[in-house]
Amino acid sequence: MQQGQLFIDGCWVAASSEQTIAVISPINGSEIARIPAATAADVDRAVAAARRAFDGWAATPVAKRAALLKAIQGELKARAGEIASAISQEMGCPIRFAQTVQAGSPIASFGMYARLLGDFAFEETVGNSKVVREPVGVVAAITPWNYPLHQVAAKVAAALAAGCTVVLKPSEIAPLDALILAEAVAAAGLPPGVFNLLTGTGPVVGEALANHPDVDMLSFTGSTRAGQRVSELAAATVKRVALELGGKSAAVVLDDADFAVAIPAVVANCYQNAGQTCTAQTRLLVPESRYSEVAERAVAAAAKFIPADPRLDSTRLGPLASAAQAERVRDYIRVGIAEGAELLTGGVDAPEGLAPELLASGAYVRPTIFGRVRPNSRIAQEEIFGPVLAILTYPDGDEAAAIRLANATPYGLAGGVWAGSDERAEAVARKLRCGQVEINGGPFNLYAPFGGYKQSGNGRELGKYGLEDFLEYKAMQFRPPAKD
């Protein structure tokens, strides 16, 4: 894998600075790679390459763009095992999850956009107007470390399908999968400058992209605080900004739900990817009279998530992505205890059963559940981004109270509703202020729009909705035919 250079204008090139960034595996604290720390000068080079390539790529026939996306998918599929291994090492997720989701999802995304181009209407007639959809231009994509290649593909595949050129800055915590993508792009034959990759930090590379005058659109996924910062910078040039930010999703369990199915499913949802999922249902809302039963079922479900070496096929819960993230989560567990929530399982102590070398230098945290959580407490309001579940109660039979509780955070990314029928669950789901709702455990759908309300961001990714985010509308008015 190419590790020591940047990918600009179709070539691997040296960064303008000799500074590098260590990539540290959270499995055992070892250094697994070093990447260039790009500078503002490198941003200028990459953006200039994307600008030069834009007219040609925008004019490329849709069928050819689709074929190139399909070719990239093929290259990624051939290296799926390598991608899964790289992601597991760089951010710690269990290898089986890396194989099925972390590698499988981006491969599917490139294929999806290749297929969507075959049916997508780039122009239509409205009265005496021809309305055309055109690529927005040069896109800067800034992506996070939790689902590193999935988030890259959601942006890059859609932008390329739309006819945009791209400058990508992946997270410096988990950049190795993006290097594999750059190699796949080159092998697939994408024209020079259409896709460019810069490794580096947010304050240097990210901010230079956000305020660059030749970047037409910024697509960012990360924390709400970082999203606010890049939005402020992007405002100076009035570029389009798409934000996919934090979440504090609620799972609303109604009184007629199958609790034996719902409660373990919510725990599994919360702990997936060690809780480092922006849509994780980290608030479990249940009727007051069922609290004791729920607490017992949740603790039993949590016992199946044992922190372990993610390189083992049997592991369901690996380390967090970094030592800093692990300490942040432990700090929130301390906050929950100080706030008076009932600690049902887990806590700040080191996990048991880990090998000494993993325990000494890895970023492992006990899966934790708090009960009797107050709605206005920090652990009920703030995104923890770790394996921590908060159980809150609402008055028996009061759906309106459950809905108010679910909506009572600054976020609105996702949620879930469990009920005795899909129809009853849907009626509640329609009143939740969030972008996605799982009905009785309905699975994720790549073709559905992904994004949030309120401080969870704006814009949508995936499916045709993600493609539309990278397009501008142009209306051309024609004179109506003369009447006889």
Tokens 């949740």: give the residue: 298
Per the annotation, the verdict on 93 as an active-site residue is no
- 10 Å CB burial of residue 260 (0-12, 13-18, 19+) is exposed
Q: How far apart are CA 267 and CA 264, in angstroms?
A: 5
> How are the residues of the chain apportioned to helix, strand and coil, as percentages rounded to the nearest 5?
40, 20, 35
Number of C-beta neighbours around residue 214 at 10 A:
17
Q: How far apart are CA 4 and CA 15, in angstroms?
A: 9
Q: How far apart are CA 271 and CA 388, in angstroms?
A: 8
Pair 224, 44: CB distance under 8 Å: no
Q: Tell how far CA 353 is from the center of its chain.
A: 31
Q: Tell how far CA 291 is from the center of its chain.
A: 32
Q: In 158-275, at which residue ranges do the beta strands (DSSP E only) sit?
A: 165-169, 195-197, 217-221, 240-244, 249-253
Tokens 């809150």: give the residue: 392
> Which of the residues 93, 270, 278, 434 is marked catalytic?
278
> Which of the residues 172, 244, 438, 461 is marked catalytic?
244
Q: How far apart are CA 153 and CA 163, in angstroms?
A: 15
Q: How far apart are CA 298 and CA 440, in angstroms?
A: 17
Q: In 216-290, at which residue ranges do the beta strands (DSSP E only) sit?
A: 217-221, 240-244, 249-253, 281-287
Q: How far apart are CA 16 and CA 199, in angstroms?
A: 12
Per the annotation, the verdict on 278 as an active-site residue is yes
Eight-class DSSP state of 14: -
H/E segment holding residue 124: strand 123-126
Pair 72, 190: CB distance under 8 Å: yes
- Residues with catalytic roles: 244, 278
